[in-house]
């Protein structure tokens, strides 16, 4: 599963049918992931939910019958960085945050990923940033503030949940910039397989510390299974493949659909309450993301 296709830079060519399929598939699966996290937390500690997600995803990808292409030793530090920024760190923060904020709000805040991707690309990856992109970033940051107003003005735990989700989404902004060149060199599956394997070891100690505070339920276990196989296995390959095809910034628009899926599932099946501020803020974030990622 290798790719020699050069990245099609933002705005130069339209999305192909496969690009749209990868985009919608990853967005749909990731949008549902916050719903599955909520169910998993009914029985398991946050650390165990994270480890199940990573471990089930890792097992899924290593069992897929694809050629196991080697990765050069010099690229392993980048694999480890990807494991931390795309998996171990953010996937640990989401279940912790969702003890205090609902899945709909978490999904809405994920719409800020394109904003953080532009910021990270400009600060750490020597990517030039246009005036239009900077305007988009400012608009997006305003939207994030609007989404968080109801929670930040409440008790401290709700505010902490918002901060943790923001940190996780920023980490995604780093990861999507790291993933593109690696996928171009090796293909999506060899990269994500190895990163998940590293992440499984990194998240194991926190999971072990939460065993004593966990129970058991078949529903939460099935939710974690779906979270791992879909949200951390299949969806990561889709997103990594898309990054190699169209570039990091264009891949980040996968988050345009995530809040829609997360909100619909949360409201319908978890009785989530969604404030007007959060809805307005999400629209503002998406507007900023569109501005920052268009010519």
User: Residue 17: CB partners within 8 Å, gap ≥ 6?
Assistant: none
Q: Kindly state the tokens that stand for 272.
A: 């989530």
Please answer whether residues 52 and 206 qualify as being in contact, where contact means their C-beta atoms are separated by less than 8 angstroms. Answer: no
- Indicate if the pLDDT at residue 8 is higher than 50: no
* Interval 106-134 mean pLDDT: 78
* Interval 171-193 mean pLDDT: 84
pLDDT 10s digits, 136-166 = 778 877 887 788 777 666 556 688 888 899 8
pLDDT above 70 as % of the chain: 88
Cα 82 to chain center, whole Å? Answer: 12
Residue 213 φ then ψ, to 5°:
-95, 10
pLDDT 10s digits, 259-281 = 888 888 888 888 888 888 888 88
Cα 244 to chain center, whole Å? Answer: 17
Q: What distance in Å separates the CA atoms of residue 260 and residue 283, rounded to the nearest whole number? A: 11
Q: Kindly state the tokens that stand for 117.
A: 């991707």
Would you list the domain boundaries of the chain? 17-292
pLDDT 10s digits, 28-83 = 898 899 999 999 999 999 999 999 999 999 998 888 776 677 889 899 999 999 99
Mean pLDDT lowest for which of 8-12, 122-126, 205-209, 273-277? 8-12
- What pLDDT score does 249 carry? 66
Q: Kindly state the tokens that stand for 107.
A: 């999904």
Q: What distance in Å separates the CA atoms of residue 39 and residue 219, rounded to the nearest whole number? A: 7
Cα 67 to chain center, whole Å? Answer: 26
């Amino acid at each position: 599963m290798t790719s020699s296709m050069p990245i099609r830079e933002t705005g130069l060519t339209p999305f192909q049918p496969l690009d749209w399929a990868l985009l919608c598939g990853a967005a749909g699966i990731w949008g549902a992931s916050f719903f599955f996290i909520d169910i998993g937390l009914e029985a398991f500690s946050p650390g165990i939910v994270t480890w199940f997600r990573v471990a089930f995803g890792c097992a899924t990808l290593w069992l897929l019958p694809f050629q196991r292409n080697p990765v050069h030793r010099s690229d392993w530090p980048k694999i480890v960085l990807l494991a931390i920024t795309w998996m171990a760190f953010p996937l640990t923060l989401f279940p912790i945050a969702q003890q205090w904020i609902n899945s709909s709000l978490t999904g809405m805040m994920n719409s800020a990923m394109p904003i953080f991707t532009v910021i990270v690309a400009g600060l750490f990856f020597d990517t030039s940033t246009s005036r239009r992109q900077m305007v988009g970033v400012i608009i997006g940051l305003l939207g994030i503030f609007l989404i968080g107003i109801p929670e930040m003005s409440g008790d401290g735990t709700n505010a902490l949940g918002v901060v943790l989700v923001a940190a996780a989404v920023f980490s995604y902004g780093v990861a999507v910039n790291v993933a593109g060149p690696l996928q171009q060199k090796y293909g999506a599956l060899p990269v994500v397989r190895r990163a998940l394997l590293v992440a499984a070891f990194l998240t194991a100690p926190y999971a072990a510390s939460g065993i004593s505070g966990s129970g058991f339920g078949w529903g939460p276990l099935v939710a974690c299974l779906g979270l791992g196989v879909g949200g951390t296995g299949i969806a990561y390959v889709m997103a990594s493949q898309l990054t190699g095809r169209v570039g990091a910034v264009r891949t980040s628009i996968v988050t345009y659909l995530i809040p829609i899926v997360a909100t619909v599932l949360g409201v319908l099946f978890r009785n989530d309450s969604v404030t007007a501020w959060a809805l307005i803020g999400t629209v503002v974030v998406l507007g900023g993301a569109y501005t920052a990622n268009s010519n």
